[in-house]
Amino acid sequence: MINARQIAVVTAHPDDETIGCGAQLPWLTGITIITVTNGAPRDLIDAHARGFASAQDYANARRTELRKALSIADIPDHDSIGLDVPDQEVASNLGASTRALCEIFATRQTRLVLTHAIEGGHPDHDAVALAVRATVALYARSGHKISIVEMPYYRAGVRGIVYQTFVPPAGRQIRVKLGAWEQERKREMLAAHASQASVLAGFSIVEEKFRVAAPFDFRTLPNRDQLLYDQYSSRLTGERWLALAVAALREFDLAPVL
C-alpha cells in the first residue's frame, strides 16, 4: 500500500478512472478521484439509448456505478469528487473547471495528478487535460510544484482508432503489466460501470500506460491535427476547440504552452 493522500486522479467521465489506472487504485490509499463531468450529455441520446428518461437519471446511475467501481478499489465516497459538468461540455466550462480544481488541490494538498493525455480523441478528455495543466501552472506561480502524469485513452490513428497508446513520439512511458489479481479487480471495476459495459468491452485490461506530461502548445491541435471529434462529431470542431482553449488560458493570463 502507498500513502496517496497527495495524489489525485482527474478524469472526464465516470469510468475513465478505471480505464486509465483502475488496477493501480487498490494500492493507493487516500487517493482523490475527481470526475469532471457527470457522464450524461444534455442531448439525451446516450441516456435514451440506455433506457433513461432524463439526463439527471442517467447522471445518477453513472454516479452510482462510479461509487460501486471505486468501492472495489476500497476508495471511500469522501475521496471521490464530482464537478458535475454535463458530458461533452468541459471545453465550454474550462474556467469553472480550473477554478474548482484549484480549490480541491489546495484543500487536499495535491502534489501529483494523473489525468488524460492530450490526444484529440474525446473533447472532454483534452479539455480536462488543459484544465489540469492550467491549475498546475497557477500553482507554480506561488512556488508549489504539482507533477502531471498522463494516461492514453483513444485517438485517431493511420488505420482507424487507436486505443490506449500515446501520440508519438511516446517518449519515456511506464507500461505496467497487470497481474492476474489486478486484472480481476479491473474487470470487476469495469463491470461496475454497467451502463457502459458494451463500450468498455474493447479496452485492454492487460496493461496500463503512464508518462510524465510534456509541455503542450494549446495554439495547435493535438495528434498532428487528426481529431476524432472533428471527424466524427459535429459537437466540437478543432477550430472551436482552439478558440476555447486559448480563451481559457487568456482568462488566467497563462502562456499557451503548458
Partner 1 sequence: MQRKLDAYIGEIARAVVPRRVRRSLYHAVLDRRIERLPSRRFIHQTLLPLLVNADCANLLFVGIQGYNRQIARTCARFGLTLWTIDVDPAALRWGAPGRHIVGDVRAIDQQIARGFFDATIMNGVLGYGVDDPEGAQAAIRALATVAKPNGFVIIGWNPGRVTDYRDLAVVHKSLVPVQLGGLPTSVEFPPDAVQSHPHRYDFYRVR
Query: Cβ closer to partner 1: 179 or 202?
Result: 202
Query: Cβ closer to partner 1: 220 or 233?
Result: 233
Stretch of 108-116, 126-134, 159-167, 215-223 lying at the interface with partner 1 (CB under 8 A): 159-167
Stretch of 16-24, 74-82, 228-236, 241-249 lying at the interface with partner 1 (CB under 8 A): 228-236
* CA–CA distances in Å: residue 204 to residues 19, 167, 228: 8, 17, 20
* Of the candidate residues 2, 3, 48, 106, the single one contacting partner 1 (CB under 8 A): 48
Q: Is 56 in the site for partner 1 (CB under 8 A)?
A: no
Query: Cβ closer to partner 1: 3 or 198?
Result: 198
* Of the candidate residues 2, 3, 42, 51, the single one contacting partner 1 (CB under 8 A): 51
Q: Is 45 in the site for partner 1 (CB under 8 A)?
A: yes
Q: Which residues of 102-130 are buried (b: 16+ CB within 10 A; e: fewer)?
A: bebbeebebeebbbbbbbbbbbbbbbbbb
Residue 211, strand partner residues: 150, 173
Q: Among 216, 214, 212, which Cα is nearest to 255's? A: 216
Query: Cβ closer to partner 1: 52 or 210?
Result: 52
* CA–CA distances in Å: residue 111 to residues 53, 132, 170, 205, 238: 40, 12, 24, 27, 31
Q: Among 46, 67, 45, 47, which Cα is nearest to 57's? A: 47
* Of the candidate residues 108, 122, 193, 211, the single one contacting partner 1 (CB under 8 A): 122
Stretch of 23-31, 158-166, 183-191, 250-258 lying at the interface with partner 1 (CB under 8 A): 158-166
Query: Cβ closer to partner 1: 45 or 180?
Result: 45
* CA–CA distances in Å: residue 25 to residues 33, 43, 100, 104, 129: 10, 32, 23, 19, 20
Q: How many residues does the chain have?
A: 258
Query: Cβ closer to partner 1: 26 or 41?
Result: 41
* Of the candidate residues 14, 121, 152, 238, the single one contacting partner 1 (CB under 8 A): 121
* CA–CA distances in Å: residue 24 to residues 3, 116, 138, 168, 189: 13, 16, 28, 24, 12
Distance CA 171, CA 174 (A): 10
Q: Is 231 in the site for partner 1 (CB under 8 A)?
A: yes
Please give the helix or strand (H or E) that residue 86 lies within, else none: strand 80-87
37's grid cell: 463531468
Site string for partner 1, 195-224 (x = CB under 8 A): --xxx-xx----------------------
Q: Is 191 in the site for partner 1 (CB under 8 A)?
A: no
Q: Is 117 in the site for partner 1 (CB under 8 A)?
A: no
Q: Is 54 in the site for partner 1 (CB under 8 A)?
A: no
Query: Which positions touch partner 1 (CB under 8 A)?
Result: 45-46, 48-51, 121-122, 154, 157, 159-163, 197-199, 201-202, 228, 231-234
